């Protein structure tokens, strides 16, 4: 089961042009594209990434009134070939905000915050001052900064069972687990590029043994990032970068 996103972004935020553009050509966006543009909350003069009908991407300048001017082709830019979801156990303090920002820059498509046996809860994260309402804004700001063509989807905070159910539906699903001494994530990512990948990242203290067993029964492979014990935010970023790098090179 795939839970709806709370920021209503994802593929709906992709600004698609009605035809392949000529550089420096001023274009009025079709109604559907104008709707996608609304997600970005841009001021005139801001730069964004738009997509032509063939999937090729361009840097464009927003002119206001639903008009853009593409000025640079991005022939090697690929964003939608593989759907990559990170399931992140809620950490304490401000670490989740950092994770959201950096996963956006890396190119993750969907982020699912989850509650595990050893993780923080949403109540913990919002005590004494509510912070979770800022999460969609963090994703938007990071997507603008790195000029990716879409804003990542942010799922609601999800329980372990629900997160496991969604992750198991991916073509390839991995759990980062320091006990997986016989298989690293790099070794596991050696097959043909899948259509979708799920990566489960545990909290400080790692996944509980029961959770590891449940993931295994669901078909999720346990992998490590090496011998070092990493903080949860480091593991999330290192794992996401490795997935994007290795699968970006596979045919």
Q: Give the pLDDT score at 189.
A: 82
In a domain, 5, yes or no: no
Residues 112 and 148 in one domain: yes
CATH value at residue 244: 3.40.1280.10
- Percent of the chain past pLDDT 70, that is, above it, reads 94
* Rounded Cα–Cα distance for residues 6 and 137 (Å): 11
* Rounded Cα–Cα distance for residues 39 and 136 (Å): 11
In a domain, 134, yes or no: yes
CATH value at residue 28: 2.40.240
Residues 138 and 60 in one domain: no
pLDDT at 114 over 80: yes
In a domain, 37, yes or no: yes
Residues 131 and 62 in one domain: no
Residues 194 and 218 in one domain: yes
Q: Where are the alpha helices (DSSP H) in the chain?
A: 31-37, 95-106, 122-125, 135-146, 160-167, 185-188, 209-217, 232-248
Provide the b/e sequence for 227-251 (b: ≥16 CB within 10 Å).
eeebebbebbbbbbebbbeebeeee
Q: Give the pLDDT score at 173.
A: 95
Residues 185 and 134 in one domain: yes
Q: Among 20-24, 99-103, 122-126, 162-166, which is the least confidently predicted range?
A: 122-126
Residues 202 and 98 in one domain: yes
**53-91 tens-digit pLDDT:** 888 899 999 999 999 999 999 977 766 668 999 999 999
Residues 109 and 170 in one domain: yes
**Domain limits at 47?**
11-74
**Biggest CA pair distance of the chain:** 58
What's the pLDDT band for 230 if we cut at 50, 70, 90? confident
In a domain, 2, yes or no: no
Residues 151 and 169 in one domain: yes
In a domain, 244, yes or no: yes
Among 85, 84, 92, residue whose Cα is nearest residue 232: 92
Q: Give the pLDDT score at 191.
A: 67
Q: Give the pLDDT score at 251.
A: 38
Residues 63 and 90 in one domain: no
* Rounded Cα–Cα distance for residues 228 and 87 (Å): 21
């Amino acid at each position: 089961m795939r839970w709806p996103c709370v920021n209503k972004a994802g593929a709906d935020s992709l600004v698609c042009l009605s035809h392949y553009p000529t550089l420096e050509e001023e274009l009025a966006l079709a109604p559907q594209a104008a709707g996608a543009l609304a997600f970005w909350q841009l001021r005139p003069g801001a730069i964004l990434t738009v997509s032509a009908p063939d999937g090729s991407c361009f840097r464009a300048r927003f002119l206001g009134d639903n008009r853009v001017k593409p000025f640079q082709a991005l022939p090697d830019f690929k964003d939608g070939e593989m759907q990559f979801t990170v399931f992140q156990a809620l950490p304490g303090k401000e670490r989740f905000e950092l994770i959201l920002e950096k996963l956006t820059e890396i190119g993750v498509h969907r982020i699912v915050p989850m509650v595990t046996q050893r993780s923080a809860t949403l109540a913990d994260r919002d005590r004494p001052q509510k912070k979770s309402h800022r999460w969609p804004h963090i994703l938007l700001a990071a997507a603008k900064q790195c000029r990716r063509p879409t804003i990542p989807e942010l799922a609601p905070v999800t329980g372990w069972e629900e997160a496991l159910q969604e992750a198991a539906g991916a073509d390839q699903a991995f759990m980062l687990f320091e006990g997986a001494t016989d298989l690293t994530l790099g070794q596991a990512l050696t097959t043909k590029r899948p259509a979708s990948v799920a990566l489960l990242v545990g909290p400080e203290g790692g996944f509980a043994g029961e959770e590891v067993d449940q993931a295994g029964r669901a078909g999720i492979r346990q992998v490590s990032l090496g011998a070092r014990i990493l903080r949860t935010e480091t593991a999330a970023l290192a794992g996401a970068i490795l997935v994007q790098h290795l699968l970006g090179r596979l045919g």
